[in-house]
Structure formats: structure tokens, C-alpha cells
Chain A
């Protein structure tokens, strides 16, 4: 794949990397998986909750990146701090996070349409929520 060199698969920040190390063994194993939730954290500023996902398929399309958690669609997102196109950070409002339930299916797709191709990121585990030193979204 174009540009998909080994050098591009980097964690978005030292904080995320540290978080990965301290997560449970199953989460650490996630690096070997195709799609993973690598962090669930509150931003140091603001009240948003960040879900950091990685995939071995880069996030490149022009359509709106959409993270589906159960029936909710999350559309506010940003790139990793290091610019990796294999990592994406989605931002949930406190209300959205409250509405989400552990066990909700987490999928990624471009756009909102039904029948669109989805990437499966497993299920949400709200007990994994941690506090980040990362600066939140602007």
C-alpha cells in the first residue's frame, strides 16, 4: 500500500504509549490486531472523553469519519498528535459517553449510510476510562 511503511505505525503521544503499556494484557495484545481501541480517556482540559483507535488500514477518505458506539454516531475527531494516519481520536461529549453502555459494539465507517463498509473495533468497556495529560480538542 502506498506510503504504508513501518515508520508510520506510531503511537500518537507518549501519554498514549504509556497508557498502552499499563493497560491490561488483552489491550496490549491489541497492537497485533487489525483494529483496536488503544485508549479511553478524559482530556486534561475540558470534559470531553477521547476514544483513540488504531487500524492497519489508514484513515484517508474524504467522507466524514464516523465512529458508531451502539446506535450513537460520533463525528468529531482528529488525527494523532504525531500525525499518524493509522490512528484517530474521537471526541465524545459527556452526554454521549453517559448514553454509551459497556458492551456496545464499536465500529468505524465513512459517512452515515446504512450498508456502508464498517471496521469492527470490538465492544466498549467503560471501566477502562482513565485521565489523560493530553490537551483536549480545541
Chain B
């Protein structure tokens, strides 16, 4: 039982934390910035670059600060995804180059709304065309991912030329104005797989360019590329009807525990977001041909899903809202990791609610900090079977009243999927890739309870490890298991997190007071509902009366619902 003074102190602490979080809104990362912006293009033709003898265009639209005198400016490269490449009237085709009178579909101009915002903060933003890749990428085992990487590298080489000697069509405009040691990439869909491949491709070449930030947007993950040593954020639209299995979550899951990795990982789950609306050329009305709402096109033609469909209960976002989510989170991400504006980190950690520019509050952010003292202390990674009884700190793990109590989704002998019998596109963390069929997914603790006395306890060693006062939060990732009937449809789960110290002081914090991550996964049609494990962060300042320099256990009590079932992983102390 928590005493009244403790409750008052906890409430006060909450208010202080909320105030602190609100203070970060002094500036919204997605608001227009101070620089006047210029739009330009370069185009060297449909067959200006060859990969494995395949013709590829070298073409891009560029936004940059009008006044370049303050340069050099960081460079951000955008790469669109898979889409028909040519059109004639309302008909569309997949070929390259287009046979006349067919004309190219300019997918590369579909992100200008975001290019303009970034440029207004002092970034040079180039969005490159990849129709040549799209037309024939599946002829290659890696589905064109290395081709995309090589194309990005070719554009970076071009920017190196612009920066050193100058070249047409810009002449000397960019000489000395481009900082190629501070480069960010954003790739959408297959382009997301492309920027992931490119990060490692550039490394394999000896890192001629400084790729500091990678942002896969609704990406494919063909190759299970591990993105260590680079800050990245993955954006996942819950109502994605194209990459409907949200396989891009693998980038986060696969990069969590690379030893010595000094970079942060994030993902942003946009409830109600879809795939095609992020590109203005692909969205309905955006071009004379090949436009669609992917949710309706591929998953739910009748629009009947109560969450992602078209009925009165739908939570689908408009195009403007979808653009808002990119404007808020990509701009914030780039400004943090290329611009050094750490003030936006609370947004990318999920400590601050979505900024107004996101135009929706239905967003869940997950975060995994770098491998450094003061940034992350892993209590239980739940990576392997022995973590059911002994945690990463070598201390006992004690379940009580939990059934089942096992691991799923990870390496053999764990079952490959956690929700047996459910389609894989409803289980993003374990969805397979045809190119990497042996690669397993996220190891998750699968459990449920039948009365409200159940709990799960992880002990902390009685040594210097128990001093967690240098961390900001205790956090874990979890999802309600919609496949287990002990959860009530449409009712969120809730639970308590309890810290205890060496002297026996304890304090309990209710997750539901600080997070909406334990929602019941919405939807009924096709790819939804789906389980996405969202990060839940509880500020350590809320554990009033506990000596944070001598914490001896983290206990999760399932005391808010009589029954329930969750999937959970990554119990850590974090910055």
C-alpha cells in the first residue's frame, strides 16, 4: 500500500515531469524554419548510370537554403519506393526507359512537402529518382537493394563533385557548401530497404561519406540488414496495406544489442497511417495514373475494417495528417542527429506527446538507447531461454501466477511465431522474408494471468549495478496479445511497475497513467489487428521513497485486470 504523502509526492512529481515535457513544445520540429528555400532539379538522362548493365536515370529534385553563405550544410537524400514507372493517360506500366509516347511517373517529387521544411532549417535535401531500379529490381536475388545503394552512392559522388569542382546545372553554386561528413537518408518502402542497404554499402567502401542518420519509412526489410553504429528511426503506419506486415520493425529488433554500439534506435508507430499517402504522386489525385489508397487497394477493398476502413469508426488519417507525421518525426529526427538539436529527443523517445505538426495524437514511439553506462542498463533482454529464470545481470527472475510463461519468436527452439495460427502480417516482429527464411524474429516473453495477484520480478545485484540514479526511466516494450481471450476486446490492459530498494522501500507506478501503449490492437480485416510491442517508459522520479542508488528489484504486477495476456521484451533502465 502506498501512503498518502507518497501519493501526493508522486502527483507533484508527475506534474513537474509533464511541465518539463510540455516545455519541449517551445519549438515544434515540424514548424517552418528560418531559411528562405529554393527548389532546383538536376537531370542527366534516363541512362546516366548503369548497375549490372541495367539503365538507370540520374535525376533529382533539390531543396536548399536560398542563402548558402552560412554553409557547408548537411545533406539529406530521399529515395522513393516501388511504383509503376511509366504512364499514358490513365494506364500505367513497369519498364525503363519508357517507350514513347509513354512518360515517366515522377515518384521522386512526392516528398517535396518534407524537403521544403528540412531545407528551411539549413539542410540541402535531394530526392532522387529510381524508376530504372523499380522496373527490373526483382531480377536480382537481393531484389535490387544493392542497386538502390549504388544509386544513392552515385548521387553522393555527384554531390561531392558539386561541392568540390562544381558541375552543371549548378555551376559553382554548391562549391564548399555541402557537408558530406553529415549525411542523412530517408527511404520509403523499397527505398527504405535501399537506404538500409546503402548505410552498410557505404561502410563496405570505407565510409567515404558520413552517414549519420537513417530513416526507413514504411520500409521493406529484404536482407535483415543490421544497422549498428548509426542512429536510425523507422516509421511504421499501422494501416499500411502495401508493406502490410510492417517488416521494417526488424531493423530495430535486430540492432538492439550490438556490443559497443554508440547510437540510438527508434520506431514510430502511426495509428491510422497508410503507405501511399506519404508520397503525393502515389496518393489519389496526385497523378493521372497509378494512384491508390493502398489499404483499400490491397487489404480491404470494401473499406469495412472498423479501424482502417472507411466507416464512421475509422481512425484512418487524411493525406494531410500523414504528411504531418513525417513532418514532425523525420524533421525532428534529422534535426537531432544531423543538427545536434537534442531538445527534440523527448519526442523521439516518446516522453513528449506528438507535436502539433504531427496532426494526430495516435502515435506510439519506441526507443532503444546506445550501449553506454548512463544510457542503458539491460535488466532482461529476454533473448534466450535462460532469461526466463536468470536475467542479464545474473540475478533471479521470478514469475508468479503466469501461464503460459515462455519465449516465442526468437531463435530455435522457440516457436517461430507467438500467435500460432494468425497470419504473419499480423505479427510484424516475426514476419519472414523470402530471401532470409532462416532468420528468426524478436524473442518475446509470452505470458498471461487468470487472477490479479500475478507478477513478474527481476532482481538487481547488490553491488554498484543497483545504483540506477543516473538513468531517467525504467522501460520495456509490450503489446496486448489479441489472440488470447483473457484480454477483453477494445479494453486496454494496465499494470503496475514496482521498484524496491535495499532497505525494503517500494513504490508503485501505474502504467496507464503514463502510457497508452497497452491498447487492445484495433481492427478486424486483413493485416489488422496486429501486435507491435511499444515502449513503455516510467520516469524514475515517480518512484517516491525508493533509494535509486540501491534498487534491488523491478516487479511488474498484473493487478489492474483480473485476466490478461501480453508479449513483452527489453526490460531496461534507460536515459
Binding site for B on A (CB under 8 A): 1-3, 5, 7-8, 60-66, 73, 75-85, 91, 111-116, 137-138
Tell me which of B81, B91, B220, B298 contacts A8 (CB under 8 A): B91
Contact B424 A116 (CB under 8 A): yes
Contact A111 B434 (CB under 8 A): yes
Contact B433 A64 (CB under 8 A): yes
Residues of A within 8 A of B93 (CB): 8, 82-85
Contact B220 A63 (CB under 8 A): yes
Q: With A115-B422, A115-B423, A138-B139 known to touch, is A7 a contact of B91 (CB < 8 Å)?
A: yes
Contact A111 B435 (CB under 8 A): no
Residue B86 is within 8 A (CB to CB) of chain A in the complex: yes
Binding site for A on B (CB under 8 A): 52-54, 81-82, 84-95, 98-99, 102, 135-136, 138-141, 143, 189-190, 220, 222, 242-245, 247, 275, 284, 289-292, 297-298, 422-425, 431-435, 437
Residues of B within 8 A of A62 (CB): 81-82, 189-190, 220, 242-243, 275
A109 to B163 alpha-carbon distance, docked (Å) = 46
Could you name 27 residue pairs across A and B whose Cβ atoms are closer than 8 Å?
A3-B90, A8-B91, A60-B297, A62-B190, A63-B242, A63-B244, A63-B245, A64-B220, A65-B138, A73-B434, A75-B138, A75-B434, A79-B94, A79-B135, A79-B136, A81-B95, A83-B95, A83-B102, A84-B94, A85-B84, A111-B425, A112-B432, A113-B431, A114-B423, A114-B424, A115-B422, A138-B136
Tell me which of B135, B189, B289, B425 contacts A2 (CB under 8 A): B289
Residues of A within 8 A of B298 (CB): 60-61
Contact B90 A112 (CB under 8 A): no
Residues of B within 8 A of A66 (CB): 434
Name the residue among B143, B422, B437 with the largest chain A CB count within 10 angstroms.
B143
Question: Besides A62-B220, A138-B53, 15 other CB < 8 A contacts?
Answer: A2-B289, A7-B89, A62-B190, A63-B242, A64-B434, A73-B434, A77-B138, A79-B136, A80-B94, A83-B85, A84-B93, A91-B139, A111-B432, A112-B433, A113-B425
Residues of B within 8 A of A80 (CB): 94
A61 to B292 alpha-carbon distance, docked (Å) = 11
Residues of B within 8 A of A60 (CB): 84, 297-298
Q: Which residue of A lies closest to B291 (CB)?
A: A2
A114 to B85 alpha-carbon distance, docked (Å) = 30
Contact B245 A75 (CB under 8 A): no
Residues of B within 8 A of A138 (CB): 52-54, 136, 139
Residues of B within 8 A of A83 (CB): 85-86, 93-95, 98-99, 102, 135
Tell me which of B84, B140, B431 contacts A111 (CB under 8 A): B431
Contact A79 B95 (CB under 8 A): yes
Residues of B within 8 A of A79 (CB): 94-95, 135-136
Contact A64 B435 (CB under 8 A): yes
Tell me which of B98, B138, B289 contacts A3 (CB under 8 A): B289
Report the minimum CB–CB distance from B382 to chain A (whole Å).
Answer: 23
Contact A78 B431 (CB under 8 A): no
A63 to B81 alpha-carbon distance, docked (Å) = 11
Q: Which residue of B lies closest to A112 (CB)?
A: B434
Report the minimum CB–CB distance from B239 to chain A (whole Å).
Answer: 15
Q: With A111-B433, A112-B433 known to touch, is A5 a contact of B135 (CB < 8 Å)?
A: no
Residues of B within 8 A of A76 (CB): 138-141
Q: Which residue of A lies closest to B240 (CB)?
A: A62
Tell me which of A8, A63, A77, A82 contacts B243 (CB under 8 A): A63
Name the residue among A75, A84, A111 with the largest chain B CB count within 10 angstroms.
A111
Name the residue among B138, B222, B244, B247 with the largest chain A CB count within 10 angstroms.
B138
